[in-house]
Chain A
Amino acid sequence: MFSGFMVNAWEVSSIVAVVAGLVGFFVVLRGSAFVAHAVPNGSFAGAVGATLVGVNTLIGLGVFSLFGALGIGFLGRRGRHDVVTALALVMMLGLGALFLNFSAEYAPEVESLLFGEVLGISSNQVAPTAALALVCVAAIAALYRPLMLSSVLAEVGEARGVSGFRMELCFLAVVALASTMTVPVVGTLLIFSLMIGAPAAARSLTSRPLAAMALSVVIALITVWSAIAASYETNYPVGFFVGSISAGAYALGRGWAAWRRTRANRDAGSSAPRLGHTVDAASTIVT
C-alpha cells in the first residue's frame, strides 16, 4: 500500500487535507458550507470547457472557481447569501451542461472529475499541488487576524476599518484556490466534505481558535488517510469513505459537545448559558 504509485496518493492527499483543514476552519466559522460546496461543483464546468478549448483542465477549474466565488461575493452584497450561492452554482452548471453537450465523448471522465481519482494521481501532479497549497496556507496565515474579527464581530470590525466586504472577497478567493488544487484529487462533489466535517469536529473539541485550526488539520489528515487505506483494501471509491468519515467526525464532535454540556449543567446547578442575543426589546411609549 505504501509503494509505487500509492506514494503520490499519500503525498497529495496529505497536502489536500492540510489545506482543507485550514480553509475549512473559516468555512465553518463563517457558516459558508454552501459556498464550499458550490465553488468546487461549479468549477466542474470550467474543466469541461477547458478540454473543449484545448487548455489544461487546471486552468479551467481555476478560472471558473474564481469567477464563481467572486461572483457570489459581489452578488451577495445586495441579495441573500444562500440564494446568490445557489444561482451562481446553477449558472455554472448550466454552462457545464452546454459544454458537455458539445464534447460528446466526455462522459467517463466526468465521473472522475466529480468523484476524484486519488489513486490515479501521477507524480508530476504533486509539485503543482504543493505549490498551490503553500499559497493557500500563506494566505490564511496572513488573513488570520482581520478575518477572525470580521467573521466573529462583523460590525465591530467595520468600525475598526476592517471591511467586511473585502474580507469576504479574500476568503472567497482562498476557497476558490483551495477548490482548484483539490478537485483533481478528491473530485468536485466531495472536497467540501473534508472542508466542513473536520473543522466542525475540531471546534467542538477545543475552545482555542489556533488549536481548533491545528486539530482541524489533524482530523482531516486522519480522514483522508483512513479513506485511502480503506479504498485500497476494498476497492470502493475513496469519496465514499471521505463522506462517511467526515459525517462520523461531525457526529462525534456534536456528541462530545452535548455530553460536556450536560456535565457542566449538572455541576453548575442551574446556570443557563444564553446563546447570544439578536432580538430587539420592544419599544415603550412612556419613557
Chain B
Amino acid sequence: MSAGAVGALLAPVIEPGFFAAEDVRVAIAVGAVVAIVSGTVGVFTVIRGQSFAGEAFGDLNTTGGAGAFLVGVSPLWGFVAAGVAAAAAMELIGIQRPRGRDLATGIVLGAGLGLAALLLYLGTTLHNTTGATVTILFGSVFTVPSSTIPLVVLLGVAVLAIVAALYRPLLLSSVSAEMAAARGIPVRLLGAAYLLALALAVALAALTIGSILSTALLVGPAATALRLTRRPGVAIVLAGAIGIAAMWLGELLAYDSSHWPPVGIGWPVSFFVVTLIFLAYLLSGTPDQVRRRTQRGA
C-alpha cells in the first residue's frame, strides 16, 4: 500500500496537517508530560484514598489564579502558592483517618473557594473584566504558549524527583501506615511531602490543561491501572501510558471535531479526554465482573 493510500484511509481520523500545526505539537508534548506526572502521583493518590485532596487542589487553583490575576502575577505562582497553603492547612489539621481527613479537605476547600469568590469579585471590580473563572476552570491545552514548555518540564521533573526520592517509604506508608510506623518511618512527614508533590502536580496540570482534566488525569488512569495490576511500579507505568493515550487521542478528536456539527466551533479537548478516561475505567472493571458471573454459574 502506498503512503498516499494510507494517508487517505486515515484522513477521516487524523486530519491532514494535524502534526504540522505548532500548537498541536506543543499540546502533544505538554499532554505527555502532564500525563506521566499525574499518573505517577495518581497511583499514590488512589492507594492513599486522597482523590478528594487532588480534586480540592484543582479547585483551589481557581483561588490561586484569581489571586495572581488580582496582583498581576503569572497564574502559575498563584497555583503553586494556593497549593502549598492548602497543603499546609490540611497538614496542620492533621487527621490521618480517611473520613476525618476528607472532612478537613472539604473545609479547607470551602474556605478556599470562598476566598476565590472574594478575589474574583475584587478582580472584576478593580480590573473590570469577566470570564476569568471560566478560563481558569476550563483552560485548554491548545492555548498553552510554547514558551512555557521549559517551565512545565521543570515542574514535572521536580514532582517526579520528590516521588522517586521517597518511593519506597512512601509506598509502604501509603499501603499500611501502621506497618510503616512500626519500622520507624515518619508517616506524618511523608504525608506532608506527598501533599506537596500532589499540589505541585495539580498546579502543573491546571496550568496546562485546566482543573477538570487535572483531576481526571490524576485519578482515572491510576485507578484503571491499579485494577489491572497489583504491582505499584507497573501501575505507575501503566497509568502514564493510559494518560498519554487518552490525552493524544482526545487532542486528535478535538482537532478533528471542528468539522463535526456544529461546524466551525469544535468540541473541547477536556470533554474527549475525560470521556476516554472514564470509559477506560469502566472497561477495566469488566474482566472482574465477567469472572464473577462465570464463578456464580459454576
Contacts and interface: CB of A to CB of B under 8 A. Distances in A.
Contact of B51 (A83, A110, A246, A279): A83
A95 interface: yes
Interface string A68-102: 00000000001110110111011101110110111
Given A37-B106, A90-B212, A200-B107, A279 B178 contact: yes
A221 interface: no
B117 interface: yes
Given A83-B219, A94-B271, A34 B113 contact: no
B271 A98 contact: yes
Nearest to A189: B113
A94 to B, nearest CB: 3
B129 to A, nearest CB: 11
Interface in B178-215: 178, 212-213, 215
A122 interface: no
B51 A34 contact: yes
A161 interface: no
Contacts of B289: 78
A192 interface: yes
B219 A98 contact: no
Contacts, number: 182
Nearest to B113: A189
Contacts of A82: 49-52, 98, 102
A107 B55 contact: no
B271 to A, nearest CB: 4
Interface in B67-117: 93, 98-100, 102-103, 105-117
Q: How large is the interface on B (under 10, 10 to 19, 20 to 34, 35 or more residues)?
A: 35 or more
Contacts of B109: 37
Given A78-B289, A98-B271, A107-B134, A87 B106 contact: no
A205 interface: no
Contacts of B278: 87, 90-91, 94
B277 A87 contact: yes
B51 A97 contact: no
> What 3 pairs across the A-B complex have the smallest Cβ distances?
A243-B114, A31-B99, A193-B110
Interface of B: 46, 49-52, 54-55, 59, 93, 98-100, 102-103, 105-118, 120-121, 130-131, 133-134, 138, 178, 212-213, 215-216, 218-220, 223, 227, 262, 265-268, 270-271, 273-275, 277-278, 281, 285, 288-289
19 contacts: A33-B105, A37-B109, A78-B285, A82-B102, A86-B54, A86-B219, A87-B219, A87-B278, A89-B55, A90-B215, A90-B220, A91-B275, A97-B138, A111-B120, A111-B130, A189-B59, A192-B106, A193-B110, A244-B115
